[in-house]
């Protein structure tokens, strides 16, 4: 069964053929003498599942001359980031390979912390066309690939199948359905999302702006936020957040408030990340088990857009074992590693054929859902810039003012344009 080809071909015609050819150990597989064992250190957030253990076991079995030492990093992404910056800014070779949030590669590449991967990719003839494009793009900086995708998160629409026969195709359809279904089946609201002033609001804004043709930065890093598409997208976001079918305190909602309300049956529609599917199917905490479907986010004038989340894998520029580290990165982001992560960690693959694997579908039926695959495949990165944290702060403040009625969409976009150009010296 090759359903992913049909699903993705419908909306992503740019996917290409893929081939994976093993390289010689001298060139990219380690270069160590026969019988020598090299140990590399992998830094990643704490893992409560069997994923990391299974990945290391499978890798070491395939590469008996390379051993993996795991370094646990903080679960809090901000703390993890700061510890990595402290180590790497000191040119430390303590770790060789590490998991990186999708918003880190530009910052780390510009700072000289990441090893460029293009020569390794070219040597092994890895055609990245069979990966979710947005996930690959997140690791590309100034035309060079600095990280490969490990797993992906993307904004998705969750809907009550018992109340809504088919998911809304457009944002206008969603507004209509949210009004009609509010109060039915024990619900209190029509739609749930994340509108608190934090990173989740940035993701929602990017999805609305992108759906109507708006962008924050162009491919060269120029500020292009002040456009009719961005304004129209923000106006649609404001229309929803100020409607009577969302909670009155929607401006305090993060992912936690969203999933808590949705699993208690309080709304027929919600925007959230893939993790929420496991919660709605958990009989110990959900009142909507087996009643929920997943679909791509609704479309605007320019189609459906989902904000990209997830994690990449990169090689420390100061590592003394870069060739061995590359073998590990290639394994983790390749077919076998992605399969292990999907089955034992519940991680959404970025390598598209993984969705077709019967064992993966058995472990996580959601990965066999064509709507789910289309939804995550529509993901686009947040602005790729070494100044992203500061860019995010600007967007959070201005969009929050807009969704709480303190500014019009046009005023908020104009303010963001001015501030971002000052920030980026444009």
**8 assigned to some structural domain:** no
CA distance 196 to 234: 15
Q: 330 and 259 in one domain? A: no
Q: 211 and 69 in one domain? A: no
The domain total for the chain is 2
Q: 91 and 37 in one domain? A: yes
**120 assigned to some structural domain:** yes
Q: 38 and 158 in one domain? A: no
For 186, residues 6+ apart whose C-beta sits below 8 A from its C-beta are 265, 266
Q: 204 and 127 in one domain? A: no
DSSP letters spanning 126-139:
--GGGB-HHHHHTT
Q: 268 and 409 in one domain? A: yes
Q: According to the model, what pLDDT value does residue 24 have?
A: 36
**51 assigned to some structural domain:** yes
Q: Would the pTM of this model clear 0.85, i.e. be above it?
A: no
Q: 46 and 23 in one domain? A: yes
Percentage of residues of the chain with pLDDT beyond 70: 92
Q: Summarize pLDDT for 268-302 with one digit per residue, the tens.
A: 999 999 889 888 988 999 999 999 999 999 999 99
**239 assigned to some structural domain:** yes
CA distance 403 to 211: 17
Low-confidence stretches of the chain (pLDDT < 70) are: 1-35
**240 assigned to some structural domain:** yes
Q: 270 and 169 in one domain? A: yes
Q: 162 and 142 in one domain? A: no
Question: Sign of the C-alpha dihedral, residues 58, 64, 65, 69?
Answer: positive
**288 assigned to some structural domain:** yes
Q: 291 and 209 in one domain? A: yes
Strand 299-300 and strand 303-304: the pairing is: antiparallel
**272 assigned to some structural domain:** yes
Q: 265 and 140 in one domain? A: no
CA distance 30 to 244: 60
Beta strands of 74-115 (E only): which ranges? 97-101
CATH of the domain at 68: 3.40.190.10
Q: According to the model, what pLDDT value does residue 35 have?
A: 64
Domain containing residue 172:
154-307+384-423
**10 assigned to some structural domain:** no
Q: 264 and 143 in one domain? A: no
How many other C-beta atoms can be found within 10 angstroms of the C-beta atom of residue 284? 5
């Amino acid at each position: 069964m090759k359903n992913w080809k049909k699903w993705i071909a419908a909306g992503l015609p740019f996917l290409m053929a893929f081939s994976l050819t093993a390289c010689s150990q001298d060139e990219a597989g380690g270069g160590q003498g026969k019988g020598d064992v090299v140990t590399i250190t992998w830094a990643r957030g704490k893992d409560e599942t069997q994923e990391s253990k299974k990945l290391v076991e499978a890798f070491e079995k395939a590469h008996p001359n390379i051993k993996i030492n795991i370094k646990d990093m903080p679960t809090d992404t901000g703390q993890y980031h700061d510890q990595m910056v402290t180590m790497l800014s000191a040119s430390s070779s303590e770790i060789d390979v590490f998991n990186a949030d999708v918003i880190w590669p530009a910052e780390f590449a510009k700072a000289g912390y990441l090893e460029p991967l293009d020569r390794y990719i070219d040597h092994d003839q890895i055609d990245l066309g069979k990966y979710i494009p947005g996930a690959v793009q997140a690791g590309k900086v100034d035309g060079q690939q600095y990280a490969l995708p490990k797993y992906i998160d993307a904004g998705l629409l969750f809907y009550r199948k018992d109340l809504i026969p088919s998911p809304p195709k457009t944002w206008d359809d969603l507004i209509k359905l949210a009004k009609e279904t509010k109060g039915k089946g024990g619900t209190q609201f029509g739609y749930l999302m994340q509108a608190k002033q934090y990173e989740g609001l940035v993701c929602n804004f990017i999805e609305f702006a992108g759906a109507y043709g708006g962008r924050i930065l162009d491919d060269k890093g120029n500020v292009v936020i002040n456009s009719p598409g961005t304004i129209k997208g923000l106006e649609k976001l404001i229309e929803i957040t100020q409607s009577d079918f969302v909670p009155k305190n929607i401006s305090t909602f993060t992912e936690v408030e969203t999933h808590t309300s949705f699993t208690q049956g309080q709304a027929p529609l919600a925007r959230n990340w893939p993790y929420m599917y496991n919660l709605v199917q958990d009989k110990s905490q959900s009142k909507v088990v087996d009643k929920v479907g997943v679909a791509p986010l609704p479309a605007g004038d320019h189609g459906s857009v989902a904000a990209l989340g997830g994690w990449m894998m990169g090689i420390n520029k100061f590592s003394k074992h870069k060739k061995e580290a590359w073998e590990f990165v290639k394994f983790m982001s390749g077919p076998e590693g992605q399969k292990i992560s999907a089955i034992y960690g519940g991680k959404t693959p970025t390598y598209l054929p993984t969705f077709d694997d019967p064992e993966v579908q058995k472990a996580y039926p959601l990965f066999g859902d064509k709507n789910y695959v289309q939804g995550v495949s529509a993901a686009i990165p947040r602005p790729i810039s070494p100044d992203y944290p500061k860019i995010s702060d600007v967007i959070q403040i201005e969009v929050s003012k807009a969704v709480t009625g303190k500014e019009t969409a046009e005023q908020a976009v104009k303010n963001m344009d001015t501030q971002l150009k000052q920030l980026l010296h444009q």
